[in-house]
């Protein structure tokens, strides 16, 4: 690892001043992704801005029943927070499907949003990668691309976003709160992560001088009928080949609203309003869910090695929505082990 300087601001103003003063600086909190990238020489910051002294560690339920999650809340603390488990069980389930207990004890809310792709060519500095070095080319497009995107990719990059948490946040229409030199900005979750297009080096719409301060979730209509299903090569400590956050609001046996977000298939969590709308007014069931899945995957374009992800996604969506309709997650308390214990 290359030498670097560590600065530790005590206030948000100081942290933003450091970002403005040092264009090549990187923000660090849990360090569970950035340190790996530095060891692999993918990232070479001369200065790290350690933000762990900032007061961003609380989980607050507001008067209207929303939750505001501080950017430095650890993934484990969030997953096992009683209010979150009760009101937003999808969040707990997605967090506990990710990484390992040790990593969840270190990784933060903002860090989870800002983690980078696990495309193996991105980590291999001998391989061409437009995300790491713009203009270099993309080794994955004609290389080994089993784990790569089937939706929303470009001829510059076919990487996927690795987070489980973000798939749940996308389904629940979270808001990302950020602070910069011009004050606070609130970003709809769908607008926070980018598709690669012609500039795959940019993962998000966060400005260079902004810091994520919180994530907010409105009271959820999906606390009972939701599910997070993650499919991967091994049972534990692996990124998703495909994951599904499925949410249904059911009244008198009829779906009145639905959310479906896919992970492991695109550069950002993938949603399609047309698929969700197709379920409204229908009774929950395999046929309706399969039709919605077909709409969601209608624009999927496989690479050489990942056509299997289309069928896998189709089946995973149906399975997750059947479990959501049955309220499986709601019935089985997380602490009793119904969710993956990695």
CB of 156 to ligand SF4, least distance (A): 6
Nearer to ligand SF4, 141 or 247 (CB): 141
* Site track 42-81 with ligand SF4 (rule: CB under 6 A), x = hit: ----------------------------------------
Tell me if 246 sits within 8 A of 270, measured CB to CB.
Answer: no
Q: How many residues belong to the site for ligand SF4 (CB under 6 A)?
A: 14
For residue 125, which phi and psi values (nearest 5 degrees)? -70, -5
Where do we find the tokens 């994530």? 215
Among 32, 81, 112, 130, binds ligand SF4 (CB under 6 A): 130
Judged by CB under 6 A, which stretch of 16-24, 88-96, 127-135, 244-252 contacts ligand SF4?
127-135
Contact 83, 45 (CB under 8 A): no
Dmax over CA atoms of the chain, in Å, equals 62
Asked if 150 touches ligand SF4 (CB under 6 A), the answer is: no
> Is 139 among the residues that bind ligand SF4 (CB under 6 A)?
yes
- Pairing type for strands 47-50 and 5-7 reads parallel
Exposure b/e, 107-119, CB count within 10 A at least 16 = b: bbbbbbbbbbbbb
Short-list 93, 90, 76, CA closest to 30: 76
Phi, psi dihedral angles at 279 (to 5 degrees): -90, -15
CA–CA separation, 119 vs 172, rounded Å? Answer: 26
Choice between 49 and 127, CB closer to ligand SF4:
127
Q: How many CB atoms lie within 10 A of CB 306?
A: 23
Nearer to ligand SF4, 102 or 125 (CB): 125
Q: Does 247 bind ligand SF4 (CB under 6 A)?
A: no
121 is an interface residue for ligand SF4 by CB under 6 A: yes
The two tokens of residue 300 are 């999927």
* CA 110-85-315 angle, 5° bins: 85
- Which of 138, 178, 212, 260 is in the footprint of ligand SF4 by CB under 6 A? 138
Q: Does residue 129 bind ligand SF4 (CB under 6 A)?
A: yes
Region near ligand SF4 per CB under 6 A, out of 26-34, 130-138, 228-236, 277-285: 130-138
55 CB-contact burial (10 Å; exposed 0-12 / middle 13-18 / buried 19+):
exposed
Q: Pick between residue 34 and residue 292 the one whose CB is nearest to ligand SF4.
A: 34
**Is residue 159 close enough to count as binding ligand SF4 by CB under 6 A?**
yes
Contact pick of 32, 75, 112, 117 for ligand SF4 (by CB under 6 A): 117
Q: Which residue has the tokens 């709809």?
A: 188
By CB under 6 A, is residue 147 in contact with ligand SF4?
no
Reference 271, options 196, 167, 164, 121; nearest CA is 167
8 A C-beta contact, residue 17 and residue 24 = no
Residues in contact with ligand SF4, shown as a per-residue x/- string from 2 to 21 under the rule CB under 6 A: --------------------
By CB under 6 A, is residue 151 in contact with ligand SF4?
A: no
Per-residue interface string for the shown chain with ligand SF4, residues 167-206, x marking contact by CB under 6 A:
---------------------------------x------
DSSP 8-state class, residue 129: B
Alpha-carbon span 296 to 279, nearest angstrom: 12
Q: Can residue 131 be called a binding residue for ligand SF4 (CB under 6 A)?
A: yes
Q: Residue 199 CB, nearest distance to ligand SF4 (Å)?
A: 11
Q: How far is the CB of 116 from ligand SF4 (least distance, A)?
A: 8
What does the binding site for ligand SF4 look like in residue numbers (CB under 6 A)? 117, 119, 121-122, 129-131, 138-140, 157-159, 200
């Amino acid at each position: 690892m290359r030498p670097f300087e560590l600065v530790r601001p005590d206030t948000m103003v100081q942290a933003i001043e450091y970002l403005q003063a040092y264009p090549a600086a990187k923000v660090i909190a849990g360090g569970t992704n950035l340190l790996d990238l530095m060891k692999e020489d993918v990232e070479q910051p001369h200065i790290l801005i350690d933000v762990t002294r900032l007061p961003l560690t609380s989980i607050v339920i507001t008067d209207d029943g929303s939750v505001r999650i501080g950017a430095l809340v650890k993934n484990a603390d969030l997953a096992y927070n009683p209010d979150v488990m009760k009101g937003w069980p999808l969040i707990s389930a997605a967090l506990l499907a990710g990484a390992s207990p040790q990593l969840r004890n270190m990784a933060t809310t903002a860090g989870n949003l800002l983690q980078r792709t696990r495309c193996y060519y991105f980590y291999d500095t001998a391989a061409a990668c437009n995300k790491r070095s713009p203009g270099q080319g993309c080794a994955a497009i004609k290389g080994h691309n089993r784990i790569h995107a089937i939706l929303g990719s470009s001829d510059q990059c076919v990487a996927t976003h690795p987070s489980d948490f973000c798939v749940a946040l996308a389904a629940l229409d979270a808001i990302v709160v950020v602070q910069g030199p011009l004050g606070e900005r609130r970003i709809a979750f769908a607008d926070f992560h980018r598709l690669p297009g012609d500039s795959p080096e940019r993962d998000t719409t966060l400005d260079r001088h902004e810091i994520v301060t919180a994530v907010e979730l409105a009271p959820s209509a999906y606390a009972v009928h939701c599910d997070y299903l993650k499919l991967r090569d091994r049972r534990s400590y692996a990124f998703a080949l495909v994951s599904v956050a499925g949410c249904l609001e059911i009244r008198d046996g009829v779906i009145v609203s639905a959310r479906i977000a896919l992970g492991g298939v695109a550069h950002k969590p993938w949603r399609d309003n047309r698929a969700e709308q197709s379920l409204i007014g229908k009774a929950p069931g395999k046929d309706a869910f399969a039709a919605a899945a077909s709409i969601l995957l209608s624009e999927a374009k496989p690479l050489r090695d990942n056509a299997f992800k289309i069928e896998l996604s189709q089946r995973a969506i149906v399975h997750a929505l059947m479990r959501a309709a049955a309220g499986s997650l709601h019935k089985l308390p997380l602490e009793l082990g119904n969710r993956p214990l990695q």
